[in-house]
């Protein structure tokens, strides 16, 4: 991830700001992705667990959510959140998204929530996603629209057009299945290897 675009852990409260739930409810993303009981999800760049906890509530005890985060400060906040609800099947993982340490073919969904714009080398990240994804699995990206002025979110020069993200996926041999706006500030891209 690019240091100049990396989310500042000192501003982590923004990630759990109640107003965010109004324009990007995580349960809506879980619904849109068709996540169900028993699924295994890798939440890449999980931050404080905004999406990870919603995925965990859906996959239940039969499933698992690996919350991959490279910043120890963010992961500490996530661990605190999970400790308050111990029945959530969330495994915090301190790792980079291009080298997660997760097992080969171990996850049904590789998810990037508002972190795609921070990546230095998407090709390396997509190789890791391919490695950890089960046959028949999929990849999903929720990120900031380039056609909407901040705030909220990163500055305009950090954002990537959804068409550019889809082109990157296609270039790396992913089949893009969905590209659409979700909420007023973000888009969703879903792809697989079929």
**What's CA 110's distance to the chain center, in Å?**
7
Q: Which pLDDT does position 168 carry in this prediction? A: 97
Q: For the domain bounded by 37-192, which CATH number is listed?
A: 3.40.50.150
Q: What is the pTM of this model?
A: 0.93
DSSP per-residue string spanning 75-124 = HHHHHHHHHHSTTS-EEEEESBTTB--PPTT-EEEEEEES-GGG-S-HHH
Q: Give the residue extent of every domain in the chain.
A: 37-192
Average pLDDT of the segment spanning 12-19: 70
pLDDT over 70 (residue 15): no
What is the band of 6 on the pLDDT scale with cuts at 50, 70, 90? low
Residue pointed to by tokens 């909220």: 152
């Amino acid at each position: 991830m690019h240091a100049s675009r990396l989310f500042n852990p000192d501003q982590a409260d923004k990630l759990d700001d109640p107003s965010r739930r109004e324009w990007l409810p995580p349960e809506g993303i879980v619904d849109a992705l068709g996540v169900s009981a028993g699924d295994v999800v890798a939440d890449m760049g999980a931050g404080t667990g905004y999406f990870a906890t919603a995925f965990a509530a859906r996959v239940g005890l039969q499933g698992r959510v690996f919350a991959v985060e490279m910043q120890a400060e963010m992961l500490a906040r996530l661990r605190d959140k999970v400790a308050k609800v111990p029945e959530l099947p969330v495994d915090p993982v301190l790792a980079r998204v291009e080298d997660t340490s997760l097992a080969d073919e171990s996850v049904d969904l590789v998810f990037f929530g508002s972190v795609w714009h921070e990546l230095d080398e998407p090709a390396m990240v997509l190789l890791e996603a391919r490695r950890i994804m089960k046959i028949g699995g999929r990849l999903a990206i929720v990120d900031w629209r380039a056609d909407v002025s901040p705030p909220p979110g990163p500055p305009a020069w950090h954002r990537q057009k959804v068409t550019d993200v889809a082109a990157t996926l296609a270039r790396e041999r992913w089949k893009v299945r969905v590209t659409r706006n979700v909420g007023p500030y973000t888009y969703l891209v879903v792809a697989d290897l079929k």
